[in-house]
Amino acid sequence: MYSPVCHQELQKLICNEIGCTFLCARCTGIYAGVFIFSLILLLKTNVPVYKIKYLFIAGTPIIADVIASSIGIYSYSKLTAFITGTIFGSAAFYYFYIGIQNWFFEKGRQPQ
């Protein structure tokens, strides 16, 4: 069901006694980061605007982890994948939130 957004390889799913997640550890981390950061933004009234370069910086750990585990520097770690996904998901949602906020601000300032 989630195959359009995740490869869902069985060995990369987070499993416990009850069952497994529908997404791999990294994708689960991305969604967890979006959820956690959305809750934080609900409580925060004044959100500073940072340059877009921080989104790329937040994506760098994912790229480094994928490359390092793919070429065999170290083996795949669900915890590392989850953490890098959470970092990127939080940053991605932040910039999505700022973009929506700017869009509404610009729409409100246009003459009618």
Residue 4 covered by a domain: no
Residue 68 covered by a domain: yes
Residue 75 covered by a domain: yes
The parent domain of residue 60 ranges over: 10-109
Which residues does residue 24 pair with via DSSP β-bridges, in sequence order? 13
Residue 94 covered by a domain: yes
The pLDDT of residue 112 is 54
DSSP letter for each residue of 19-38: -EEEEEHHHHHHHHHHHHHH
Residue 47 covered by a domain: yes
* Sequence-ordered alpha helix ranges (H) in the chain: 25-43, 53-70, 78-109
Global confidence as pTM: 0.84
Residue 93 covered by a domain: yes
The pLDDT of residue 33 is 96
The pLDDT of residue 79 is 95
User: For residue range 39-95, what is the model confidence (pLDDT) as tens digits?
Assistant: 998 898 788 888 889 999 999 999 999 999 999 999 999 999 999 999 999 999 999
Residue 5 covered by a domain: no
Query: Domains in the chain: how many in total?
Result: 1
